[in-house]
Amino acid sequence: MRLKLCLIGLATVLSWASIGLCAEEAVVLTPKPGPAPRINGARIFGVRQGSPFLFAIPATGERPMTFAAEGLPEGLKVDPKTGRITGRIERRGEYSLILKASNRLGTAAKTLKIVCGDTLALTPHMGWNSWYVWENRVSDKIMRDAAEAMVATGMIDHGYQYVNIDDCWAVKPGSNDPALQGEPRDERGMINSNKRFPDMKALTDYIHSKGLKAGIYTSPGPTTCAGHVGAWEHEDQDVSRFIEWGFDFLKYDWCSYENVAGGKGLAELQKPYRLVSRILARQPRDMVLNLCQYGMGRVWEWGREVGGNSWRTAGDLGGSFEGIPAALFRDGFDVYAANDLQRYGGPGAWNDPDYLLLGWLSDWKGGTARTPLTPNEQYSHVSLWCLLAAPLIFSGDITRLDEFTLSLLTNDEVIDVDQDPLGRPGRRVAKKGDLEVWARDLEDGSKAVGLFNRGEADAEVEAVWSELGVSGPRIVRDLWRQKDLGVFRDKYKALVPRHGVVLVRLRPSKT
């Protein structure tokens, strides 16, 4: 297999990158989930008083499975067959539930804390977004297929929730494609979808019927980045429309706001986001707000204050297809470390270094191509995002997931790091040339640690307890392999492949 891949690489002789790629096998490390029930995903969930509630208990294990939830607040019920908790909570407060999932092999239990208050997104969002594979070709069918795939692949059982339409669902003024032409707004001024989305309400109903949530995109400017109608001077109406359509998530993309902003001072940068979040706060439905303005004006310092539940920290990670590996290290690792972004993210408001660019992506020439990230770079990508407490939004083709890509997206012990309820983002604790150690504090007092090698050759990377701020023996567990590696006294070192990672969790040991 390796030889065959190398021959293809050499035959096409594209570049050193393709030859490097050919030497690396895509090794699946994530063990397959067992047949016994396991409840996965977030352990804390925020909702506002009176908003429609939907939380699908994510669980792996053999079906049929039955679900229960003890301690449900008044107004909520659980469907024992699907595990969906629905209803409305009328009283603010914190509720501690015990979720249960049972099949013929036993019962799994897990606590879930529901916080009914003002804050949504108490853990980073998990889902799928259409942009990096479908860009301007997105349609109702693509979104329905994505929702189906999120269920069929089992991603929903690992905590993935959001199915998000990116740009290109609205009318595009001046387009010569008949599907994108039409009246941008109806007689009341409410925004219309284009002909590829004949019935938005039916689409979100469909997504919700799968136990999932639906996301939409617009710009505060007159047009979106791809030239479709934006929300400028119609912000109230557009939010009302999204609510009436039944959306749960809004990505608000700066783009043409540039032309109407009257400058790039802090007040101008913040204004459209303050406005939209005030409008969202008045709605009878929860919508998570993602700020997309590429990190301008050090958005991390004020993204939370203006009402964002997450903010993009840099430009488009996949802006250039070939540039993705470089962008991963530049915008993923270096922008974060240089700005100490761990100081800004936390429950309700997260740093967003952009989507998971795995599997099949748009090649920006009308077709699709496999991610240019090598297998080890893909491990680094997902591991870093979990250490940073970044949203896990996959943006490759969810209907064409190979085993390797799915294994990267569905490792529950890795996802547990991302979704840890303490919500404290990790940081770079050591950098020695190309070798970096990143660490994140977790709720149970343990630490997730990533040993990264950004160099061109395999290298030994060392995580030293004193640099991590711990002392005494630690049980080290390899999270990708889900295997304990032993007890270590003052450091742990591992051979890490080119551009790869070893991701571990350290727990205090009594011996």
Choice from 166, 286, 377, 416 touching ligand GLA (CB under 6 A): 166
331 binds ligand GLA per the rule CB under 6 A: no
Assess 352 for contact with ligand GLA (CB under 6 A).
no
Neighbours of 350 (CB within 10 A): 30
Q: Which is nearer to ligand GLA, 76 or 225 (CB)?
A: 225
Nearest one of 480, 402, 397, 385 to 125, comparing CA atoms: 385
Contact 117, 46 (CB under 8 A): yes
Residue (53 or 217) nearer to ligand GLA, CB: 217
Question: Is the omega angle on the peptide bond into residue 220 within 30 degrees of 0, that is, cis?
Answer: no
Q: In sequence order, what are the beta bridge partners of 460?
A: 495
Phi, psi values for residue 268, rounded to 5°: -70, -40
292 contributes a contact to ligand GLA by CB under 6 A? yes
**Shortest CB 395 distance to ligand GLA, Å:** 9
Nearer of residues 55 and 257 to ligand GLA, judged by Cβ = 257
How many residues sit close enough to ligand GLA to count as binding (CB under 6 A)? 9
> Which of 157, 167, 413, 436 is the binder for ligand GLA (CB under 6 A)?
167
Among 67, 128, 131, 302, binds ligand GLA (CB under 6 A): 131
- From the CB of 272, what's the least distance to ligand GLA, in Å? 15
Residue 47 pairs with which residues in a beta bridge? 116
Q: How many CB atoms lie within 10 A of CB 142?
A: 17
Describe the chain by its helix, strand, coil percentages, rounded to 5: 30, 30, 45
How many residues are present in the chain? Answer: 511
Q: Which ranges of 228-282 would DSSP assign to H, the alpha helix?
A: 235-245, 266-281
In the set 140, 235, 253, 412, which binds ligand GLA (CB under 6 A)?
253
DSSP labels for 97-135?
EEEEEEETTEEEEEEEEEEESS---SS--EEEESHHHHG
Q: How far is the CB of 242 from ligand GLA (least distance, A)?
A: 16
Please, which residue, 166 or 418, has the CB nearer to ligand GLA?
166
316 binds ligand GLA (CB under 6 A): yes
The token pair that represents 431 in the structure block: 């950098």
Q: Is 134 in the site for ligand GLA (CB under 6 A)?
A: no
**Residue 273 binds ligand GLA, judged by CB under 6 A:** no
Closest approach of ligand GLA to the CB of residue 135, in Å: 7
Is 504 a residue that touches ligand GLA (CB under 6 A)?
A: no
53 interacts with ligand GLA by CB under 6 A:
no
Phi and psi angles of residue 489, each rounded to the nearest 5 degrees, phi first: -95, -40
* Other beta carbons within 10 Å of 293: 22
Q: Which of 225, 250, 289, 335 binds ligand GLA (CB under 6 A)?
A: 225
327 binds ligand GLA (CB under 6 A): no
**Residues 437/493, Cβ–Cβ less than 8 Å:** no
Of the listed pieces 11-19, 58-66, 94-102, 218-226, which binds ligand GLA according to CB under 6 A?
A: 218-226
Task: Examine residue 286 and tell whether it contacts ligand GLA (CB under 6 A).
Answer: no
Judged by beta carbon, residue 156 or residue 357, the one nearer ligand GLA is 357
**Is residue 276 involved in binding ligand GLA (CB under 6 A)?**
no
Determine the Cα–Cα distance for residues 252 and 231; give it in Å rounded to an integer: 9
Residue 28's nearest CA partner among 501, 407, 438, 505 is 407
**C-alpha to C-alpha distance for 146 and 194, rounded to whole angstroms:** 19
Task: Please identify, among the stretches 46-54, 110-118, 193-201, 221-229, the one whose residues bind ligand GLA according to the rule CB under 6 A.
Answer: 221-229
Q: Catalytic residues, which ones?
A: 253, 316
The reply on whether position 226 binds ligand GLA by CB under 6 A is yes
Nearer to ligand GLA, 97 or 335 (CB): 335
C-alpha to C-alpha distance for 353 and 8, rounded to whole angstroms: 33
Residue ranges in contact with ligand GLA by CB under 6 A: 131, 166-167, 224-226, 253, 292, 316
